Amino acid sequence: MFIAVITLLTIAVIFGLVLGFAAIRFKVDSDPVVDKIDALLPQTQCGQCTFPGCRPYAEAIANGEAEINQCPPGGDNTIVALADLLGRDILPLNPENGEVKEAKTVVIIDEEICIGCTLCIQACPVDAILGAAKQMHTIIVDNCTGCDLCIPPCPVDCIYIVPEKTSASHWQWPNPEESGSPVS
Amino acid sequence: MTTASHKVFDFHGGLHLDEHKSISTSKRIEQAPIPAMLVLPLSQHIGAAAKPCVAIGDSVLKGQLIAKADGRVSVPVHASSSGEVVAIEKRNVPHPSQLKSECIVIKTDGRDTPIDTEYTGLANYHSLSTDELRQRIHDAGIVGLGGAGFPSHLKLKPNGHHVDTLILNAAECEPYISCDDMLMREQAPAIISGLRIMQHALHAKNCMIGIEDNKVEAFAALQTAIGDSDDIEIVRVPTRYPAGGERQLIYSLTGKQAPSQGRPLEIGIVCHNVGTAAAVHNAVIKGEPLLSRVVTLTGSGIPQPRNMYVLLGTPIDDLLEHCRANRDDIGRTMIGGPMMGFVLDSTTAPVTKTTNCVLVTHQRDVQKPETALPCIRCGDCADVCPVNLLPQQLYWYAHSQEFDHIQDYNLFDCIECGCCDVVCPSRIPLVQYFRFAKTTIWQHERDTEKSNKARLRHELRLERLEREKIEKRERHNRKKAALKKEPEQKEDPKKAAILAAMKRVKEKQSVTNISPSNTENLNADQQRKIDEANARRTGQNKDKNGS
């Protein structure tokens, strides 16, 4: 009886040490599923999913607190990719979260009207607006994700949505099926 | 010079197409007139667009630098004739997207006054180091004139590789196009000279010219230009499209295959076009930048098809007018040949460094694209594919937009030669699908890159906000602490004053023990008085301390 207790205790201590060591040695800083989900999201950080950014939304999906159809900028492609990753059913985009934009957009500031209030700078989730108090602001277009979060705070309505510019080097050949060459 | 003995390897697939070349080779190359306006795109090459270094209103001379290269993969642009810069704006350019692109517009003065070039002509290029040679070629704005437009100076840099063979691509396999053929007939010595300069720059051991066996006159001209020297070998390859594809020609001549998605340089081979060789000759030997090129104007919509030396920037409209093409009869204008060219919507676009052919089709000859039928998986496309791909598989995945799978079938090795299109019994526009898939994949890559950047910027912003919050709190705490300390600090001077006073008193007290200096040799009376005084003082002190 006494030997059995000692043996079991010894085994318990050994396993405890092994598990404790493994927990430290192979520590995972963040949930890898969250990282995978986050990688599929478009990173516009627009908050249309009702979460404050893409990563919080990814965490909510991983925890089962949110559906996979709440990301309008990602559209159907993101929904399909998320469904593939998580083994869930494909859902249509939730209209409550917004609509898919027809073309990618960015914003521009009408620099004549801008009064330099810095409100848009505080709203921009990716620090893509350059300016200072009482100085004219401008958008760093290359970094603009088209989230449109800077538009509501602007007191003088000097921020406009414009389609993202296509240059010849970034131009895409049209899909033959959409350009009048039907394949049945 | 050995020509007969060389073994020619047979690349897979390919097609025998109707050549339609002879219609434009009956006349000598003619000089196109100087147009009223020159439209010079800043991006006539692969890589970063050049940066303008002239302003509107500036007078420019022929050969003057008007836009500088921007970065490593870029080349400068020169004024092709003298005149005045009237605009720097977006104009129509020859590009399949039909998008406008930044151009420098010069109103010519017709005098064609040349500038005193920075470089003078140079008979003995051996005196230059290979770096200096490449710099000259770069400064002359030379790009691959075969059609792709890759900056030539980069293709003349061995980059640590040992260059075994330099191949001059004289195959010109695409139907209708004859600009290289005519250039070889008329400028063979310049081409050979340019080839030797390139060989020198690359330290290439062997030098070969690959030419299709239908170009008899050009072959003879090259042979004459080479003469008795045996440093260059001309190899005739069978006329079969696309024999002039870089990889196909390399295989035909050497039996080696360039690595998939790699460069031929990795297997010690560099391939240049004949037009490029002539341009290199002009740049190094004559000191002239690239200002004009040979363009084939052909097709049923041109009354007398021909080849012309055209100044870069000449609007295609001017060329059509010069050839007396009837505007109403033109059904379709293409840049390049019928296989790999693209349709041009607006003929106001100019001739650029890569415009080898303007193919104008009479409207009676324009065939409507046939309705595509389902793929029957006959495999004809795979039989003709010169890259040994499986076009039916690529089509399958492009059609269903499975862009991960399509890359498993080496989509990016497709040279878009169009052979599969021609043989497809279902008339599926296969190359269109492949181009669509390629550009969509590139777009996805750019999107991923952009979203990674956005993620990073967002994280950095959150970090910054957190840091600012902490800093603010710390500032706040410091201020609070400072406020508390302040009253104590006010008492400090008082305390110090008291301490100082006490110190003085102590000093005074200690002074009393010091015996005065005049107390020596005293008489009895004096000593008594002193003792009395001391006793008094002690008594006083005692009283003071006691009180």
**Span B414-423, pLDDT tens digits:** 999 999 999 9
- pLDDT of B118 reads 61
* Structural tokens at position B134: 């490449």
Provide, rounded to the nearest whole percent, the portion of chain B with pLDDT above 90.
69
Q: What angle do CA B496, B497, B500 make, to 5 degrees?
A: 85
Say what the pTM is: 0.81
pLDDT of B545 over the 70 cut: no
Q: Single out the residue of A162, A167, A122, A164 nearest to residue A142, CA to CA.
A: A164
Confidence band for B146, pLDDT divided at 50, 70 and 90: confident
Greater model confidence, B148 or A117: A117
Can you list the domains of chain B with their CATH numbers? Answer: 22-363 (3.40.50.11540), 374-470 (no CATH)
Measured distance CA(B319)–CA(B333) in Å, rounded: 12
pLDDT (tens digit per residue) in B377-409? 999 999 999 999 999 999 999 999 889 899 999
Confidence band for A181, pLDDT divided at 50, 70 and 90: very low
> A92 — contact with chain B (CB < 8 Å)?
no
**Average pLDDT, integer, range B3-26:** 86
- pLDDT of A183 reads 39
pLDDT of B133 over the 70 cut: yes
What does chain B come to in residues? 547
Greater model confidence, B305 or A32: B305
- pLDDT of A101 reads 84
Residues A65/A68/A69/A71 CA torsion (nearest 10 deg): 90
**Average pLDDT, integer, range B460-464:** 93
Q: Are B9 and B247 in contact (CB under 8 A)?
A: no
Q: What is the DSSP string of B296-344?
A: EEESTTSSS-EEEEEETT-BHHHHHHHTT--GGGEEEEEES-TTT-EE-
**Average pLDDT, integer, range B51-67:** 93
Q: Judge: A173–B374 Cβ closer than 8 Å, yes or no.
A: no
What does chain A come to in residues? 184
Chain A residues whose beta carbon lies within 8 Å of the beta carbon of residue B70 = none
Q: Name the architecture of domain A105-165.
A: 2-Layer Sandwich (3.30)
pLDDT (tens digit per residue) in B169-189? 999 999 999 999 999 999 999
- pLDDT of B527 reads 84
Q: Are B211 and B236 in contact (CB under 8 A)?
A: yes
Measured distance CA(B535)–CA(B179) in Å, rounded: 133
pLDDT of B76 over the 60 cut: yes
* Structural tokens at position A86: 């998580």
Chain A residues whose beta carbon lies within 8 Å of the beta carbon of residue B369 = 181
pLDDT (tens digit per residue) in B330-382? 999 999 999 999 999 999 999 999 999 999 999 998 888 888 999 999 999 99
- pLDDT of A110 reads 92
**Average pLDDT, integer, range A149-177:** 89
- pLDDT of A182 reads 40
pLDDT of B439 over the 90 cut: yes
Burial of B168 (0-12, 13-18, 19+ CB in 10 A): buried
Q: What is the DSSP string of B490-542?
A: HHHHHHHHHHHHHHHHHHHHHHHTSPPTT-SS--HHHHHHHHHHHHHHHHHHH
Q: Residue A148: how many CB atoms within 10 A of its CB?
A: 19
pLDDT (tens digit per residue) in B261-298? 888 999 999 999 999 999 999 999 988 999 999 999 99
**Model-level ipTM above the cut of 0.85:** no
Chain B residues whose beta carbon lies within 8 Å of the beta carbon of residue A45 = 454, 458
Using CB atoms, pick whichever of A41, A55, A182 lies closest to residue B371.
A182
Q: Single out the residue of B312, B427, B432 nearest to residue B380, CA to CA.
A: B427
Q: Judge: B374–A184 Cβ closer than 8 Å, yes or no.
A: yes
**Radius of gyration of the CA atoms of chain A, in A:** 25
pLDDT of B460 over the 90 cut: yes
pLDDT (tens digit per residue) in A33-86? 888 999 999 999 988 999 988 999 999 999 988 999 999 998 888 999 999 999
A 133-172 → B contacts, CB under 8 A: 143, 145, 166-172
Mean pLDDT for all residues in chain B: 89
- What's the CATH fold of domain A32-97? 3-methyladenine DNA Glycosylase II; Chain A, domain 3 (1.10.15)
* Structural tokens at position B453: 């950047």
Half-sphere exposure of A167 (CA within 13 A, CB side): 9
pLDDT of B237 over the 90 cut: yes
- pLDDT of B2 reads 45
Q: Which amino acid is at B37?
A: M
pLDDT of A29 over the 90 cut: no
Grouping H, G, I as helix, E, B as strand and the rest as coil, residue A19 is: helix
pLDDT of A99 over the 90 cut: no
Write down the domain spans for chain A.
32-97, 105-165
Greater model confidence, B146 or B493: B146
Q: Judge: A168–B435 Cβ closer than 8 Å, yes or no.
A: no
Measured distance CA(B2)–CA(B235) in Å, rounded: 8
Nearest residue of chain B to residue A180 (CA atoms): B371
Tell me which of A41, A139, A172, A179 to substitute to probe the interface with B (most B C-beta atoms closer than 10 Å).
A172
Confidence band for B3, pLDDT divided at 50, 70 and 90: very low
pLDDT of B513 over the 70 cut: no
Confidence band for B541, pLDDT divided at 50, 70 and 90: low
- pLDDT of B15 reads 93
* Structural tokens at position A142: 């290359």
Measured distance CA(A61)–CA(B336) in Å, rounded: 52
- pLDDT of B1 reads 47
**Average pLDDT, integer, range B51-60:** 93
Q: Single out the residue of B403, B177, B400 nearest to residue B299, CA to CA.
A: B177
Confidence band for B114, pLDDT divided at 50, 70 and 90: confident
- pLDDT of B71 reads 87
Q: How far is CA A61 from the centre of its chain?
A: 12
**Average pLDDT, integer, range B461-468:** 93
Q: In what order do the strands lie in the sheet with B330-335?
A: B30-31, B306-311, B292-298, B357-362, B330-335, B342-343
Tell me which of B403, B457, B459, B462 to substitute to probe the interface with A (most A C-beta atoms closer than 10 Å).
B457
> A10 — contact with chain B (CB < 8 Å)?
no
Q: Judge: A45–B458 Cβ closer than 8 Å, yes or no.
A: yes
pLDDT of B167 over the 60 cut: yes
Which residue has 């207790």 as its token pair? Answer: A5
Angle between helices A54-62 and B430-512 (to 10 degrees): 100
Using CB atoms, pick whichever of A43, A127, A181 lies closest to residue B461.
A127
Using CB atoms, pick whichever of A53, A173, A179 lies closest to residue B458.
A53
Provide, rounded to the nearest whole percent, the portion of chain B with pLDDT above 70.
94
Q: Single out the residue of B100, B107, B113 nearest to residue B41, CA to CA.
A: B100
